[in-house]
Amino acid sequence: MFTGIVEEVGLVAAGPRFSVGCSLVLTDLTPGASIAVNGVCLTAVEIRGDGFSADLAPETLRVTNLGDLKPGDPVNLERPVTPTTRLSGHIVQGHVDRVGILESFENYVLKVQVPKDLDRFLVYKGSICIDGISLTIASVSDGLVTVAIIPHTWEATNLHVRKPGDRVNIECDVLAKHVDKLMSHLSHAHLCGGDLTTITVIPAALLEPVPHAPAFSKESDTQDPFARRSFEPE
């Protein structure tokens, strides 16, 4: 799991495997460990003094923009979160949903066209991960997502080399995806005449029998329901 806070911008290196030249993220990277490259969770299979290598599955090449990269291209890198790490961004799995198209990037405002089937996971001021960067949605309309970029994000990521027409990796908020599936099941059950039962959790202490439990007096039942009641033993 990641947070969408880019630690380092590496450079794609030439080689028989997908390789990235970097330094900071190597400090505790070990063979078999996960690392996010442009928001894609990869397994580092070979560690060198100047970088690492990973294998790319056909599905990874189909769904992400990693297949577009060539030696020298900058990529966003992030190591997995630890239990003691501050969650500065949002929960990012590194499981890219689809690829979006960068429409424009002017005055630190980024606009990306995303597939319309992802629209239900995107909300105003919600989170979205673009090329491994945790960003806040400023607006979303007809598949066009707008986010505001601060100068630090522009400088510390590969956004400073992005241009209109570039393909960027999109990962929607996993919480939104879970809620969407849950609600779709509930809606299906309702349409099929299912019983949408409300489950109420009652503390165990309230379920214990109470001897000589008081009851409302008949006289008080006709009084103001918000007034203090008078009680009498059964």
For 201, the token pair is 């959790």
Q: Give the Cβ contact number of residue 31 at 10 Å.
A: 11
Burial of 113 (0-12, 13-18, 19+ CB in 10 A): middle
- The length of the chain, given as a count of residues: 234
For 93, the token pair is 């799995």
At which residue do the structure tokens 């879970």 appear?
178
Q: What 3-state class would DSSP assign to 12?
A: strand
At which residue do the structure tokens 């319309």 appear?
116
Could you tell me how far CA 102 lies from the centroid of its own chain? Answer: 20
Q: Catalytic positions, please?
A: 2, 34, 41, 43, 57, 95, 136
For 3, the token pair is 């947070």
